[in-house]
Chains A and B, each alone.
Chain A
Amino acid sequence: MVTFWDVVERTSHGERMKESDFDAMLYQNVRALIEKYDIHFDGETAVPSDDGLADRAYQAGLELFLATGFYCTSTQRAVRFTREEVEEAVRHAKKSYVFGEGRDQHVMGPRTVEDPNPPTCIFSHLGVPVKQDLFPKVCLAQAQEQYADAFCCVSLHDTFRGIPIKSGHPVEVAACMWDITKRREAARLAGRPGLGLYAHVSVGESTASIIASVHPAFGALPRDVTQNGVIAELKVDYERMSKAAFLRECGFGNASLYGPLMGGYAGGPEGTMLVQIAHFFLGLLAFDVEYHICFPIDIHQTCSTTLPMLWLISVYCQAIARNSNMLNICTTMAAGGPSTDMLFYEMVNGAIAHTVSGAHSVQGGIARDKNPEHISTLELRLGAETCHAVAKTGMTRAKANSVVKEILARYADDIPNAPLGKTFSELYDLERVKPLDFYLDLYRKKKEEISKLGIDYSAI
């Protein structure tokens, strides 16, 4: 079996090529495979009930990875594998992951399409900038959400000790150590001291900061997770492989993060879907990961809740679920902001698509993941409740498709100019860290509205 260190060696011996040539080769391979495997988005379906399509997508994604490999920017080489090597890595992929510890422990296992077992639901706002003074309260707001099987929280964006937090700067290391202590403290204050972290720090990009922050002195639990993000598309560098070198031996959680851009190097929804699948093999081989976190994004709308995006998410999730035991967590990246109808709709649609398609679910990016303090939890709560209801009531893909499309019609036209919504401070009692009454009323109203579309929340 190919080991991590075999792969590291291959980065020095693979085919030398310019990065732009790798990008061009990827696109050519994607286009050829779309035709070869007859993979086409019909322009109408959000959640396909087509096992043949899902299986062809998996084979096409595998063949894409075999033909293209991944690119190491540090050595400017393409690294490739045989089919046997990739399939062996998939066979030996981890089939479960345990978040957290003690009574708050949660086991994430493989899922199937239309699985009656609810997905693991993770609450995350990673990417939304928040200042230091609000950071602990936001962490607590997330940690106390009972449907959060693991959590992550926001991105610290501020000064630390009076110095702006910058990647590669000593302050990044210090900020990471502070960051993890506050998240762990939030879990404890929420009465869930063993609640797992799905991305254990928000400000750590450098390997030094990641290694510093997992030291037990700062509270990280042994199975808290670091996400190792690839470079778009299908690229790594030695900084990322260095993180993997540490994570695979220290026992700390090791996951990879892929966000292919629809409209970018992978092309349209079909190509982006194949590239999303291909990334799973990269994660296994180049990073030796335990699970995979996906957040494909529309390059123009900076969200994943448009019709083509929902289609590509559903198909890739079905492909992975039907053809492997790899652990797949998909993230909803919403355009709408907190306390808007739109965000509730987007979170529900993402939840439905993930759940029936065999994935686990991150209730995640809000307001395009960039607007300071635009964080909420009640929309995420409804998303997680939807995951549970959809699974437990045995919703089929066909039913999911009709519900998703009906909900989509309520927000699709607003995507380009999505409402920003309110900030955390406007939605929460900051003393008690509880949602304000008007916000709770809105949540109840939206839940009631959506239940009439065929989601039975009484089942959970």
Chain B
Amino acid sequence: MTDFNEMKDAVVRGDSEACIALAKKALESGVDPLKAIREGFAPGMGVVGKGFEDGSLFLPDMMLAAEAMKAGIAVLEKAMPADKAAENRAGKVVVATVQGDVHDIGKNILRILLSTAGFEVVDLGRDVKVATIVAEAEDEKADIIGVSALMTTTMMYMKELIEELAEAGVRKDFKVMVGGAPVTEDWAREIGADGYAKDAFAAIQVAKNLVN
């Protein structure tokens, strides 16, 4: 019998092997894979996310938990028909730290939270040229482009990104979210971004609202 609490605890511990084993056990027991994700693994990430927010857990704990959950979900998704797997996906997001900026902790936190919230995330890394972000978003057929910056001189590339999307005639194909230390809601509005969040947690709801 599948114990969803065990699955939750395995995620909280960041135990990838246990998540894989429990995922296989769930399938063998005939548990609906989507149910196993939603009632087994996802609550674990919820615990870790809450712990990160209240300061009892830290970024490495979240990264381990996310990796463990990802490993377990990979097993379950193989057993799901494509339409069921898609049901589990909230959308596709391309994330990057903008050109000239090498600071990526915020972007990394966002990547983890988005993927555990059901988004498929393509992480382009840091110091990513605007043209590359546009090209990759088009190739990936992303729903959302999420960009971050830590400095006033690099946040200007967020504006350039939106201008370049418009120039390429694809502005309407993507929702653009912006964030990072120097970024404010006013700035996001000024440059025509679709979404802004003061931190990665708030960004999840913003992302969900944008795809809906």
Binding site for B on A (CB under 8 A): 20, 23-24, 27, 73, 127, 129, 155-157, 164-168, 172, 202-203, 205-206, 231-232, 237, 239, 261, 263-268, 271, 299-300, 302, 308, 368-372
Contacts and interface: CB of A to CB of B under 8 A. Distances in A.
Given A166-B156, A168-B100, A265 B59 contact: yes
A45 to B, nearest CB: 17
A263 B58 contact: yes
Contacts of B182: 127, 129, 369-370
A218 to B, nearest CB: 18
A86 B156 CA distance: 40
Interface string B160-197: 10000000000000000000011110100000000000
A143 B100 CA distance: 30
B152 A129 contact: yes
B4 interface: no
Interface string B43-71: 00000000011010011100100000000
A225 to B, nearest CB: 18
B86 interface: no
A165 B153 contact: yes
B211 interface: no
A300 B160 CA distance: 28
Interface stretch (B74-82, B101-109, B113-121, B135-143): B101-109
Given A24-B60, A265-B59, A268-B55, A127 B103 contact: no
A156 B151 CA distance: 11
17 contacts: A24-B63, A127-B182, A156-B152, A164-B156, A164-B160, A168-B100, A205-B100, A205-B154, A231-B103, A232-B105, A237-B102, A261-B59, A267-B58, A267-B60, A300-B53, A370-B181, A372-B186
B58 A264 contact: yes
B153 A263 contact: no
Interface size class for chain B?
A: 20 to 34
- Which of A129, A156, A302, A308 is the most central at the interface, judged by chain B CB atoms within 10 Å of its CB? A129
B152 A203 contact: yes
Interface string B13-55: 0000000000000000000000000000000000000001101
A166 B160 contact: yes
Contact of A300 (B151, B152, B199): B199
Contact of A370 (B58, B100, B159, B184): B184
Contacts of B101: 167
A102 B59 CA distance: 48
B148 interface: no
Contacts of A20: 63
A166 to B, nearest CB: 4
Q: When A and B form their complex, which 6 residue pairs have the shortest distance between CB atoms, in order from nearest?
A: A167-B100, A27-B60, A167-B153, A157-B152, A166-B156, A267-B58
What is the predominant secondary structure among interface residues of chain A facing chain B? loop
Contacts of B157: 166-167
A205 B99 CA distance: 12
Nearest to A202: B152
Contacts of A231: 102-103
B183 to A, nearest CB: 7
Contacts of B52: 263
Nearest to A167: B100
Contacts of A300: 53, 55, 199
Contacts of B184: 370-372
Contacts of B55: 263, 268, 300, 308
Nearest to A26: B60
A23 B105 CA distance: 11
A450 B151 CA distance: 34
B99 A168 contact: yes
A363 B63 CA distance: 35
Contact of B181 (A156, A239, A302, A372): A302
A266 B60 CA distance: 8
Contacts of B160: 164, 166
A160 to B, nearest CB: 11
Contacts of B186: 372
Contacts of A266: 58
B169 to A, nearest CB: 22
B13 to A, nearest CB: 15
A346 B31 CA distance: 54
A372 B151 CA distance: 13
Contacts of A302: 181
A263 B181 contact: no
B6 to A, nearest CB: 24
B105 A261 contact: yes
Given A300-B55, A371-B184, A73 B152 contact: no
B134 to A, nearest CB: 17
Contact of B152 (A127, A232, A368): A127
A73 B183 contact: no
A205 B151 contact: yes
B100 A73 contact: no
Given A265-B60, A268-B55, A302-B181, A155 B102 contact: no
Contacts of B59: 261, 263-265, 299
A265 B153 contact: no
B178 to A, nearest CB: 13
Nearest to B102: A231
B123 to A, nearest CB: 11
Given A263-B58, A268-B55, A299-B59, 11 more contacts: A24-B63, A165-B152, A166-B100, A166-B156, A264-B58, A271-B58, A299-B105, A300-B53, A300-B199, A308-B55, A369-B181
Nearest to B157: A166
Nearest to A159: B156
Contact of A166 (B58, B63, B154): B154
Contact of B58 (A165, A268, A372): A268
B183 A370 contact: yes
B109 to A, nearest CB: 8
Contact of B156 (A23, A165, A263, A308): A165
A419 B154 CA distance: 27
Nearest to A129: B152
Contacts of B102: 73, 231, 237, 239
